Amino acid sequence: MTEKIFQIAIDGPAGSGKSTIAKAVAERLCIDYIDTGAMYRAFACKIKNSGIDMYDEAALEKLLDETDIDFSKGDTLLDGVKVNDIIRTPEISMLASKCSALGPVRKKLVALQQKMGESKSVIMDGRDIGTVVFPKAPFKFFLVATPEERAARRLKELIEKGEKTTLEEVLADIKQRDLQDTTRKITPLKKAEDAREIDTTSLSIEEVTGIVIEEVKKHGYCQTV
């Protein structure tokens, strides 16, 4: 039986659990997971390596034209090179938040994301998936959690990766990124009116995954559930 193509949009601030939940749901539903934050992070890496001034529009457009961002078997590829780890540093987090406020960057990456999700079912996480990338997605979720809980989760991840940092530093970074992501002029982080909000502060990964899967199942979209 052919199944209907559908998109699940998962938006929310840094550390709200988007990628963990999206990965778990993708696995359960046998659909692709697309981490759009990784795409902004990969481009931030390209900006850093190139040394261009990202506010120089001509240089930015040229760099965008010369950039290829893709996913393969769970890896994030920048110009064909795996960048999974180097895009996760605090420096790249901040640069990704800054470059994601630029119109030409959003234009290119949003178009790429729409293409990735048009021919197959996907779960995509980011800041503008339910509002801009797939405004007609049949499933939209907006995850939230307190800044303290989000910082504690991020700290755990960073420490596991061998980064030396403190809860205070991570919390300050998260608050700064929240401010940048919610106040930027172009498509700031915002809950889509028809998105279901889930506060993940005191929920387990299984509980949040269960809420998302239940919703998909209820609407009979996926026969493999």
- Beta carbons of 181 and 97 less than 8 angstroms apart: yes
Cα distance between residue 9 and residue 125, in whole Å: 6
Out of 177, 195, 209, 212, point to the residue binding ligand DC (CB under 6 A).
Answer: 177
Tell me which long-range contacts 160-165 makes (C-beta under 8 A, separation of at least 24): 161/85, 161/88, 163/89, 163/90, 165/90
Smallest distance, Å, CB 105 to ligand DC? 9
Q: Which is nearer to ligand DC, 25 or 181 (CB)?
A: 181
* Among 120, 110, 133, 119, CA closest to 10: 133
Stretch 106-145 residues interacting with ligand DC (CB under 6 A): 126-128
Coil, helix or strand at residue 86: helix
Q: Which is nearer to ligand DC, 85 or 214 (CB)?
A: 85
Residue 210 amino acid letter: G
Cα distance between residue 203 and residue 198, in whole Å: 9
Coil, helix or strand at residue 14: coil
Smallest distance, Å, CB 20 to ligand DC? 11
Smallest distance, Å, CB 166 to ligand DC? 19
- Binding segment for ligand DC (CB under 6 A), chosen from 59-67, 71-79, 96-104, 217-225, is 96-104
Helix H or strand E segment including 141: strand 139-144
Q: Which is nearer to ligand DC, 67 or 97 (CB)?
A: 97
Stretch 25-64 residues interacting with ligand DC (CB under 6 A): 36-37, 40-41
The footprint of ligand DC on this chain (CB under 6 A) covers a number of residues equal to 13
Question: Residue 181 interacts with ligand DC (CB under 6 A)?
Answer: yes
Residue 132 amino acid letter: V
Q: Which is nearer to ligand DC, 50 or 89 (CB)?
A: 89
Question: Residue 174 interacts with ligand DC (CB under 6 A)?
Answer: no
Q: Which is nearer to ligand DC, 13 or 121 (CB)?
A: 13
- 140 forms beta bridges with 9
Binding site residues, ligand DC, CB under 6 A = 14, 36-37, 40-41, 96-97, 100, 126-128, 177, 181
